[in-house]
Structure 1
Amino acid sequence: MDTISTPDLCDEHGDKVRVLEGNFRHYGGKQHFGGEIATIKCFEDNSKVAEMVKEPGKDRVLVIDGGASPRRSLLGDNLARAAADNGWRGIVIYGYLRDVEELANMPIGIMALGSVPRKTEKLGDGRCDIALEFGGTTLTPGEYLYADLSGVIVAAQSLTNSQ
């Protein structure tokens, strides 16, 4: 997966590819990643994120819709380490994270809108495995997401042979 190129995938697959809009930044140790999408929708509460990253990732990418809230971090070093240890390929957060220095060395792709040091509430709120709408597109569990330094793209089917 280290050799994917979102521009090449866009050129090769044309309208089968949707580009995720937004100013997502890389925070993890891998800047090229992709896989089947799993989703969580939560707001200032990462309880469902903590549950999901402890499950087998099966080379998937966890996409989290945090409503772009800059007030609470939805991911830190402990949850990112659990995700990497459990076989998740990446995490994309429409929201914020923390522990930036530690995340940079982890063997997982991590993208978010930015960082904030404040942790979340733990209320058990959130929904898993639902379609998410942000970044100018809909992201549905079972679709595929690919990310590199050029951006993030989504497709209904796998675009690489490694899936």
Structure 2
Amino acid sequence: MRRLVVTDVPRPDAEQVAALQGFGVATVHEAQGRVGSLGAALRPIQQGTAIAGPAVTALCWPGDNLMIHAAVEQCRPGDVLVVGVAAASTHGFFGDLLATSLASRGVAGLVIDGGVRDTEVLRRMGFPVWSRHVSAEGTVKATAGNVNLPVVIADQVISAGDVIVADDDGVVVVPRLEVPQTVEASRAREEKETATRDALAGGQLGLDRYDLRPLLRDLGVEYVRWDELAEQGGA
């Protein structure tokens, strides 16, 4: 089996990437038709940070971070390093030394389907990380994987150059060729949500805004006064 480091991968338009970052994970996920989420298990080690950038992908073996070191060389400013693991592993694949290397190259952050450590130092550095585990257990550098070939996290395929959007709500991937339409769909959803927010702030109920009263009726939901219910002997 060939082990490859793929160089010079195509990247999406930077302005569209910045637009996706502004919309945020929840809006982008909904705009894509509720697809692309990397799952609830990937959590940020920090709060209040949002990033978006083209993915540089690395596939590592359990307990082995060799290919993260190989991937650093392929990272450009604004990229997000996305690390998949060939099998479940709780090891701390990544810490402050690798973060220092990535930060020097202008990398926006890390998404890893494994563990990280030195989290307090990473927060002080301001280097954003989303990980499945936090673990002090170290790794070796002994087994070859791949760089910039597709990886799978939470049943989502992430290819090099796809856009990763990450914030306090988690992580979502946008395929590179679908970035323009996802930006437009996200913008439309944001405009719709702004109108809804204004209506709710003005006192309109969600029951009426979303026309939910007929649904409640069709589901057999009844309205009854408290005193009437008491007279009927309860539910």
Structure with the higher strand share, 1 or 2: 1
Aligned residue in 1 for 2:136: 117
Aligned residue in 2 for 1:18: 36
Find 1:34's aligned residue among 52, 56, 72.
52
Moved more, 103-112 or 145-154: 103-112
Find 1:49's aligned residue among 68, 88, 96.
68
Moved more, 152-161 or 99-108: 152-161
Is the contact between residue 30 and residue 107 of structure 1 (CA under 8 Å) also seen in structure 2? no
TM-score w.r.t. structure 2 length?
0.61
Aligned residue in 2 for 1:153: 172
Is the contact between residue 56 and residue 74 of structure 2 (CA under 8 Å) also seen in structure 1? no
Aligned residue in 2 for 1:69: 89
Which residue identity is paired with 2:88? A
Superposed CA RMSD? 2.3
Aligned residue in 1 for 2:103: 84
- The structure showing larger relative contact order (alpha-carbon pairs under 8 Å, at least 6 residues apart) is 1
Bigger Rg, structure 1 or 2: 2
Q: Secondary structure at the match of 1:19?
A: coil
Task: Provide the rounded CA distance (Å) in 2 between the counterparts of 1:57 and 1:150.
Answer: 25
Unaligned 5+ residue runs, structure 1?
none
Per-residue CA shift, 1:127-162, capped at 9, x if unaligned?
11111112121111111110111121111133569x
Aligned residue in 2 for 1:138: 157
Once the two structures are TM-superposed, the CA of residue 17 in structure 1 deviates from its matched residue by 4.8
Structure with the higher helix share, 1 or 2: 2
TM-score w.r.t. structure 1 length?
0.85
Aligned residues: 159
Is the contact between residue 37 and residue 143 of structure 1 (CA under 8 Å) also seen in structure 2? yes
Q: Matched residues, percent identical?
A: 24
Task: Provide the rounded CA distance (Å) in 2 between the counterparts of 1:3 and 1:23.
Answer: 23
Once the two structures are TM-superposed, the CA of residue 100 in structure 1 deviates from its matched residue by 1.3
Per-residue CA shift, 1:22-44, capped at 9, x if unaligned?
41121258721111111111112
